[in-house]
Amino acid sequence: MRRLGICLLLGWALRGAGQALPGASPSGAAAATPVPAWQATFFGAPEVTRPRLVTAAVAHSYDLAVLKTDQDVATQDLKIARKSILGAVQVINSVGYGNIATVTVADQAVVGTGSGTSTSQTRYSTGLGLNLSLDRLASRGNLLTRQKLLVHKTEQIAQAREALLRQQVLDLYETVRLDYKIMGYRQQAYLTAQLNYQLAERQFKAGDLELSILSQLNSTYINAMSDQATAISSYTTAFMTLEELLGCSLAELLAPTTATTATPTK
């Protein structure tokens, strides 16, 4: 799908040499070949294209996905740090069994006193204990603050990386648009040089043109051919790099089924 999109764009550029944008020639005449809607949006409606490119790149970025995982890990570490004091709390249980004696002092004035009793029973007790060193208790607030700063740091790194990715996508988008125009201009120069050389070759064969002039036109023709190949290579590389950064083809991303196509600007 991506190769098809590149081939189509190259075809329109080579057939419509000198066009500033697909669907519109410098003279304002309508293009002979209709332009697909997604290409018209890509080249002629940057206000629609830019947000879609950035959104796709951010969603596809493995670097940002790793940073998101780091954020989640730092957040979980903060929760653990807040609950770490519970590790110093101990539950204390004790069970005892033995005699409990009751001693009564005899009172001679009262009949029936002076006897003693004893019973045996099981005794159970429970409670909570805190075993925490003073330095750990005193530094608890600092540890929590440090963990909060780590969470904030990962968020800042993610924001910085996302901003860098946005700028990279926008720069590459403008590079693709510029390379497309240059490719059209190089094609026009190539066709002109080719036509001049062919005419000069006929005149030379007819004996109406000197060899030196034919050689100069031949050099111009070869240079134009080289410039055209370089322009096509630069455009193709930028186009494929942009699609790789997005993780999808531009034809799919800007298809009329998912985006409203805007009218290309001249």
Q: Round to whole Å and give the CA distance between 33 and 92.
A: 87
Alpha-helix runs per DSSP H in the chain: 2-15, 37-44, 46-60, 62-83, 134-138, 140-205, 211-246, 250-253
- Between residues 85 and 185, which one has the greater pLDDT? 185
- Residue 220, SS3? helix
- Residue 210 inside a domain? The answer is yes
Does residue 175 register a pLDDT over 90? yes
For 40-52, how does the pLDDT look when each residue is reduced to its tens digit (9 = 90+)?
999 999 999 999 9
The domain of 214 spans 2-58+162-253
- Residue 139 inside a domain? The answer is no
- Residue 170 inside a domain? The answer is yes
Q: Round to whole Å and give the CA distance between 241 and 172.
A: 8
- Residue 202 inside a domain? The answer is yes
Rounded mean pLDDT, 106-115:
54
- Between residues 81 and 65, which one has the greater pLDDT? 65
- Residue 242 inside a domain? The answer is yes
Structurally, the chain folds into a number of domains equal to 1
Instruction: Map tokens 């629609």 to a residue.
Output: 48
Percentage of the chain exceeding pLDDT 90: 44
Q: Kindly report which listed range (90-94, 134-138, 198-202, 232-236) carries the lowest average pLDDT score.
A: 90-94
- Residue 205 inside a domain? The answer is yes
Q: Which of 166, 208, 216 is nearest to 61 (CA)?
A: 166
Position 120 confidence tier, pLDDT thresholds 50, 70, 90:
low
